[in-house]
A and B are shown apart, each in its own frame.
Chain A
Amino acid sequence: MERQRIMRALALSRENTLIELMGSLGDIPPFEYLRRPQKGLIMVKARADAKNQAFNLGEALATRCSVNLNGKAGHAYVLGDEPEKCLAAALADALAQDERFRPEIERIALCLEADMARARALEVQKTQKTKVDFFTLVRGEDAD
């Protein structure tokens, strides 16, 4: 499993789900902060006409955190003011680089993806019910 895919699952997770799953790991090695959870801004870029020149839409609040765990640097950036979720994600990123913990972190990432898939499936199901078929009326003189 690619590092980017794991980081995506961590970033898109719901905070309580991630913390609960990380809690299931049991004892993890001690870590030190390379950077404590810190709030900041990411300027969101978009494209004119969806695909033309880039422009700045506005900023998004984000949290970042970096840890050192057994010599492995774990990093995380997540949207919102989410210090606990961000720390959990940085720890998971560091642990994923450790052979002993990698299978467990991959399992957690799969759980998070499945959680997300369930939520999205529910959303799609509700949205699809609002799909409409507009039809234009055929005028009398055209209908022969």
Chain B
Amino acid sequence: MYVAVKGGQKAITEAHKLLEETRRGDLSVPEISLAQIQNQMGLAVDRVQAEGSLYAPKLAALATKQAKGDLVEAIFLLRAARASLKRFGYSEPIETASMRARRRVSGTFKDIPGGQILGPTFDYTHRLLKRSLMDGGQAPPGGAPIPIAKGPGAQPGADGLGGELLGVATILEREGILETVGTAPEDGEPFDLTRQPLEVPLARPGRLQALARADEGFLLALAYSSQRGFGSVHPFVAELKLGPVELGFRAPELGMPITVGEIEVTECQTANQFKGGAGKPPMFTRGYGLTFGHNERKALSMAIVDRALRAGELGEAIKGPAQNPEFVLYHGDNVEASGFVSHIKLPHYVDFQAELSMLRAMRKKFNGSGGPPEPDDKDE
């Protein structure tokens, strides 16, 4: 309890001034712009959007700047910004099958329709520091800006490059070795964590929403623990892809779905070994991961944890934390977790006084009953 504390206003104001000063740092160094953060720290911005649960690249860049690069703090800022805005409604479900993939790989088959596209990846890099990126180094040229169109082009309306490709999961499904799923009939809007309390058991749509905004590190550790044997999931990456998808929205005043823009997402579909059970034959079962922006470590971890959380439904023994919905869902949100862990930094003087007097009374009683003597102060 910290309500019994008053005062400190002046010190708090000064601390905030000092925070702002240290955020800015040395004034002889130019201030970083939001465009620089968005363009050159894009993966930080993407993580803030995914876990902040708000697709807004400019605001995520602002949050990252304000938080001095502390991404969990930036995520908190974005969640707070989101809370002050009106909800227009729910989008049409995005169609990841028609994504213009900038990256698309499969760990199950080398020959996939449309081919494997590595895209902008850290995979196969040597993880050696590049001296060319040091200040004054000769950095490679970046992407040139695209000039503004002055008139209709040669192929008006033809923007359908990329196009819909046959998904690897669909191929496995057609072979009959991956569990079959179909579009479930719509029964109102899905469970919404921003409007409904999180209670377990929670059906898969609610779990996926919670996982999509959960802390990347937490999901990574859970996925790793599961792979190492704590509730074993043996995943293969059927398909991992990154790219923009169009967002459709049915505005009430229009009565028809319209495209409102594009969002970039990372999607991961896994095929996981399953020995059979709960009335199902041996087959591969599915795990699904989806995040805003380019977050493939998170998307893959999410797919593994999604599959692990299906243990109950598939009649598997629950042996590890990754399979326990209560453990996973109640501890994955880094805004809640860091709030609860960090709040003990704030004054707890009254609480502590209460504990202290109780402890003193207990020790007095203990010593009176001939227990071991108090430790000598000199030893401390």
Residues of A bordering B, CB below 8 Å:
4-5, 7-8, 11-12, 14, 16-17, 20, 38-62, 64, 66, 73, 75, 77-81, 107, 110-124, 127-128, 130-136
Within 8 A of A (CB), among B92-115: 92-94, 96-97, 100-103, 110, 115
Q: Answer yes or no: B340 CB below 8 A from chain A CBs.
A: no
Contacts A52-B184, A57-B212; A45 near B85 (Cβ below 8 A): no
Contacting pair A61 B94 (CB below 8 A)? no
Contacting pair B169 A50 (CB below 8 A)? yes
Q: Answer yes or no: B41 CB below 8 A from chain A CBs.
A: no
Contacting pair B149 A44 (CB below 8 A)? no
Contacting pair B159 A117 (CB below 8 A)? yes
A-B pairs, top 3 by smallest CB distance, nearest first, are: A114-B153, A79-B261, A115-B149
Contacting pair A77 B251 (CB below 8 A)? yes
Q: Answer yes or no: B263 CB below 8 A from chain A CBs.
A: yes
The A interface, classified by DSSP as helix, strand, loop or mixed, is: mixed
Question: Which stretch (B202-210, B222-230, B319-327, B341-349) binds chain A?
Answer: B202-210
Contacts A52-B183, A78-B261, A131-B116; A57 near B290 (Cβ below 8 A): yes
Question: Which stretch (B129-137, B252-260, B356-364) binds chain A?
Answer: B252-260
Residue of A nearest to B56 (CB): A61
Residue of A nearest to B148 (CB): A17
Contacting pair B58 A113 (CB below 8 A)? no
In the complex, chain B residues whose CB is within 8 Å of the CB of A112: 149
In the complex, chain A residues whose CB is within 8 Å of the CB of B215: none
In the complex, chain A residues whose CB is within 8 Å of the CB of B182: 51-52
Contacts A43-B192, A46-B94; A123 near B258 (Cβ below 8 A): no
Contacts A8-B259, A45-B90, A60-B56; A128 near B148 (Cβ below 8 A): no
Nearest-Cβ distance from residue B312 to partner chain A, whole angstroms? 16
In the assembled complex, 21 residue pairs joining A and B whose CB atoms fall closer than 8 Å, in A order, are: A4-B258, A7-B259, A8-B246, A45-B90, A45-B94, A46-B96, A49-B169, A50-B288, A54-B189, A58-B53, A66-B253, A77-B88, A77-B249, A77-B258, A81-B59, A111-B151, A114-B152, A114-B154, A131-B117, A132-B115, A132-B116
Contacting pair A60 B209 (CB below 8 A)? no
How far, in whole Å, are A43 and B155 apart by their CA atoms in the complex? 34
In the complex, chain A residues whose CB is within 8 Å of the CB of B208: 48, 55
Which of B85, B96, B149, B192 is close to A61, meaning CB atoms less than 8 Å apart? B85
In the complex, chain B residues whose CB is within 8 Å of the CB of A46: 93-94, 96, 265, 290
Contacting pair B91 A45 (CB below 8 A)? yes
Per-position 1/0 for B124-166, Cβ under 8 A of A: 0000000000000000000000101111111111110110000
Interface centre among B82, B120, B157, B191 (most CB of A within 10 A): B157
Contacting pair B86 A41 (CB below 8 A)? yes
Nearest-Cβ distance from residue B278 to partner chain A, whole angstroms? 18
